[in-house]
């Protein structure tokens, strides 16, 4: 029920008195209400739930945390080096 | 799809799971709050990747599941009226009331429609001015901004033939209720990522230290759930009881303040009954006085509706993490998604339905640890 899907803003428009946008979900596009998003820009990603964008996807934060996970076991090796490798 | 595919990467999942194996030294029970998280965990078999010490127990965060049977009967009573167009999210249509589900109400001649967003109801209302359009406004805080906007826009656009049957529930009072129960065995929470995208996580900051229980705000993809579990295990192992945010790409500490403002304009906090659990004080929203003209319960005289639940169903204990689906003698026998006996079987996001849909009624799974 509380699922929200990340999608890219590809168009901005005013409909009625609401700020709306066309959102692209990997090839499928649908309208979503952007009233709750401050300064939405074409090309930005938003999380959409029941036709409403509820937050912007923070691209820097996503890259930073994913990078952290990717390097996790390498960090482990740096923190606990195997003595035999050190000697060689 | 960007922000989806990379969070389903098998290699990365194994890597994070291996880190959990390294971090754990003793048994821990961690509850994921959301039904969507439960569904992902069972679908991807994430619990099978975890060390035997880490048990995931399934929480009450499925709004379809916890909507009281009486409320569903009320919805059906409204939908059956001849001048009504009854609109709902698709997942409520299959949920049985005391006498069949909304599909059956529709088959008997009622005008029942599935909507993608509550804003669809306004278009339907404008196009059908001789009808009363009623929307079944269920959900947690994630859905509240959308439902609030529909009511706000209806007033702004002077749409008079639109009303909402509100059954909105809130996560923090449910978490506190679980932790206050003497029989509680939950030691940490994976918090509700999309609820917090709207609300932020300030409300959770007093809960974690008060009950000495770590809370990690967590997303819904496999890597999110594994990383959230890793963060919770590390807190438990180190004796920390903090709120941490695994889902930083979508959640900020203060959440979406514009959405929160709209919720406050339209709704007020009230006591709510949760199916399988009972009344939890201050655990839901209702329309405030300014918007009472849009309240379907005021618009339609329904009288009092009482609906008894089958005595055999243990969904209340499943929702609080005390029992697992396999602990129920009816699970997969008398009780299936086609013929659900209670809350956790009625929606695909309920623990019992998720276990059944992914074939777990066919395999022997250990029951809730420590519970005989």
What is the predicted pLDDT for the residue at B183? 94
Residues of chain A with Cβ-Cβ distance to B195 below 8 Å are 2
Pick from B160-164, B234-238, B311-315: least confident = B311-315
By the 10 Å C-beta count (0-12 exposed, 13-18 middle, 19+ buried), A63 is classed as: exposed
Which residues in B lie closer than 8 A to residue A38 (C-beta atoms)? 258
Residue B371 pLDDT > 60, yes or no? no
**Least confident interval from A50-59, A64-73, B115-124, B363-372:** B363-372
Provide the residue range defining the domain that includes B263.
1-372
Cβ-contact B151, B144 below 8 angstroms: no
pLDDT, average across residues B311-323: 91
What are phi and psi for residue A42, nearest 5 degrees? -60, 135
pLDDT of A74:
63
Cβ B249–A61 below 8 Å, yes or no?
yes
Stretch B93-118: mean pLDDT: 94
pLDDT tens figures, A25-40 = 999 999 999 999 999 9
Mean pLDDT of chain A: 86
Indicate the pLDDT class of residue A75, thresholds 50, 70 and 90: low
Q: Are B246 and B215 in contact (CB under 8 A)?
A: no
Could you give phi then psi for residue B121, rounded to 5 degrees?
-65, -35
Task: Give A78's pLDDT tier (boundaries 50, 70, 90).
Answer: very low
> Where residue A82 falls among pLDDT bands split at 50, 70, 90?
very low
Interchain contact, A2 vs B19, CB within 8 Å: no
Q: Does B353 touch chain A (CB under 8 A)?
A: no
| Torsion from C-alpha of B189, B195, B198, B200, nearest 10 degrees | -10
Q: Is residue A43 within 8 angstroms of chain B, CB to CB?
A: no
Contact between chains at A33 and B249 (C-beta distance less than 8 A): no
Mean pLDDT, range B99-107, rounded to an integer: 94
On the question of pLDDT at B77 being above 60, the answer is yes
Instruction: State chain B's mean pLDDT as an integer.
Output: 94
pLDDT digits (tens, 9 = 90+) for B119-136: 999 999 999 999 999 999
Long-range contacts of A68-72 (CB under 8 A, 24+ apart): A69/B12, A69/B15, A69/B16, A69/B223, A69/B227, A70/B12, A72/B15, A72/B16, A72/B19
- A39-53 residues labelled b (16+ CB within 10 A) or e (exposed): ebeeeebbbbbbbbb
Whole-number Å distance between alpha carbons of B266 and B273: 20
Relative orientation angle of helices A59-70 and B222-238, to the nearest 10 degrees: 70
In the prediction, which pLDDT does B40 show?
96
H-helix segments, chain B: 10-23, 35-44, 46-49, 63-66, 69-79, 102-107, 119-127, 144-156, 171-180, 193-199, 207-210, 222-238, 257-266, 296-299, 315-319, 343-346, 351-357
Q: How many whole angstroms separate alpha carbon B293 and alpha carbon B155?
A: 9
How many angstroms away from the CA of B348 is the closest CA of chain A? 9
Residue B123: CB atoms within 10 Å: 13
Q: Look at residue A72 in the predicted model and tell me its pLDDT.
A: 82
* Mean pLDDT (whole number) for B67-79: 95
Q: Is residue B12 within 8 angstroms of chain A, CB to CB?
A: yes
Terminal CA-to-CA distance of chain A, rounded, Å?
A: 56
- Hey, are the CB atoms on B194 and A52 less than 8 Å from each other? no
* Cβ atoms B164, B146 nearer than 8 A: no
Whether A4 and B142 lie within 8 Å, measured CB to CB: yes
**Edge-to-edge, what's the strand order for the sheet holding B84-88?**
B111-114, B84-88, B132-139, B162-169, B278-287, B267-274
Domain count of the fold of chain B = 1
Query: In chain B, what's the furthest Cα-to-Cα distance?
Result: 66
Q: Which of B104-113, B137-146, B333-342 has the lowest mean pLDDT?
A: B333-342
- Grade residue B105 by pLDDT with cuts at 50, 70 and 90: very high
CATH code where residue B157 lies:
3.40.50.11740
Q: Is the pLDDT of residue B365 over 70?
A: no
Express each pLDDT in B254-288 by its tens digit: 999 999 999 999 999 999 999 988 999 999 999 99
Instruction: Give whole-number Cα distances, B102 to B77, B79, B326, in Å.
Output: 10, 8, 29
3-class DSSP state of B215: strand
pLDDT of B372 > 60? The answer is: no
pLDDT in tens, B255-264: 999 999 999 9
Choose the weakest-confidence range: A41-50, B124-133, B241-250, B310-319: B310-319
Q: What is the pLDDT of residue B311?
A: 84
Question: Is B369's pLDDT higher than 70?
Answer: no
In Å, the largest CA–CA distance within chain A is 72
Residue boundaries of the structural domains of chain A: 5-80
How confident is the model at residue B254, as a pLDDT?
98
B38 φ/ψ angles, rounded to the nearest 5 degrees: -55, -45
B320-348 residue pLDDT tens: 999 999 999 999 999 999 889 888 999 98
What pLDDT was estimated at residue A1? Answer: 78
Q: Which residue of B has its CA nearest to A16?
A: B157
CATH among 2.170.16.10, 2.60.40.10, 2.30.30.140, 3.40.640.10 for A5-80: 2.30.30.140
Whether A58 and B18 lie within 8 Å, measured CB to CB: no
Contact A70 B12 (CB under 8 A): yes
Q: Which residues contact B296 (CB under 8 A, 6 or more apart)?
A: B78, B134, B163, B164, B165, B166
pLDDT category at B216 given cuts 50, 70, 90 is very high
Per-residue confidence band for B239, with pLDDT thresholds at 50, 70 and 90: very high
- Residues 6 or more apart whose CB falls under 8 angstroms from that of A54 comprise A4, A36, A46, A47, A48, B142, B145, B194, B197, B198, B256, B259
Q: Determine the average pLDDT of the residues in B35-60.
A: 96
Cβ contacts of B347 on chain A, cutoff 8 Å: 1
């Amino acid at each position: 029920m509380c699922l929200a899907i990340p999608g890219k803003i590809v168009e901005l428009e005013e409909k009625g008195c609401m700020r709306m946008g066309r959102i692209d979900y990997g090839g499928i596009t649908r309208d979503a209400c952007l009233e709750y998003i401050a300064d939405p820009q074409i090309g930005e990603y938003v999380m959409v739930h029941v036709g409403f964008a509820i937050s912007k996807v923070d691209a820097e934060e996503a890259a930073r945390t994913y990078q952290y996970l990717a390097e996790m076991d390498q960090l482990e090796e740096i923190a606990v080096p195997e003595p035999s490798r050190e000697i060689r | 799809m960007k922000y989806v595919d990379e969070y389903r990467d098998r290699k990365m999942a194994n890597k994070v799971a291996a880190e959990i194996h390294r971090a754990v030294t003793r048994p821990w029970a961690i509850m994921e709050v959301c039904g969507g998280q439960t569904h992902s965990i069972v679908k991807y078999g994430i619990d099978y990747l975890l060390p035997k010490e880490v048990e995931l127990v399934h929480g009450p965060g499925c709004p379809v599941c916890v909507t009281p049977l009486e409320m569903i009967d009320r919805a059906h009573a409204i939908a059956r009226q001849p001048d009504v167009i009854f609109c709902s999210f698709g997942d409520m249509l299959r949920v049985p009331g005391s006498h069949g589900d909304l599909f059956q109400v529709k088959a008997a001649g009622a005008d029942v429609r599935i909507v993608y967003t509550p804003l669809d109801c306004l278009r339907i209302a404008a196009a059908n001015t001789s009808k009363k359009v009623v929307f079944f406004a269920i959900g947690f805080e994630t859905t509240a901004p959308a439902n609030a906007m529909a009511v706000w826009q209806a007033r702004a656009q002077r749409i008079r033939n639109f009303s909402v049957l509100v059954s909105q529930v809130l996560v923090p009072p449910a978490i506190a209720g679980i932790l206050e129960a003497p029989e509680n065995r939950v030691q940490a929470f994976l918090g509700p990522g999309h609820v917090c995208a709207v609300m932020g996580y300030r409300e959770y900051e007093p809960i974690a230290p008060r009950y000495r229980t770590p809370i990690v705000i967590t997303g819904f993809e496999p890597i999110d759930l594994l990383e959230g579990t890793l963060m919770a295990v590390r807190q438990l192992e180190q004796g920390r009881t903090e709120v941490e945010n695994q889902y930083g790409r979508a959640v900020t500490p203060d959440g979406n303040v514009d959405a929160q403002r709209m919720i406050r304009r339209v709704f007020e906090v009230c006591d709510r009954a949760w199916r399988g659990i009972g009344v939890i004080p201050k655990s839901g929203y209702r329309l405030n006085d300014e918007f009472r003209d849009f309240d379907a319960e005021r618009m339609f005289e329904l009288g009092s509706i009482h609906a008894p639940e089958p005595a055999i169903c243990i969904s209340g204990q499943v929702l609080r993490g005390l029992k697992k689906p396999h602990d129920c003698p009816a699970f997969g026998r008398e009780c299936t998604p086609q013929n659900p006996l209670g809350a956790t079987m009625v929606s695909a996001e309920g623990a019992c339905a998720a276990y059944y849909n992914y074939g777990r009624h066919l395999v022997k799974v250990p029951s809730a640890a420590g519970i005989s």
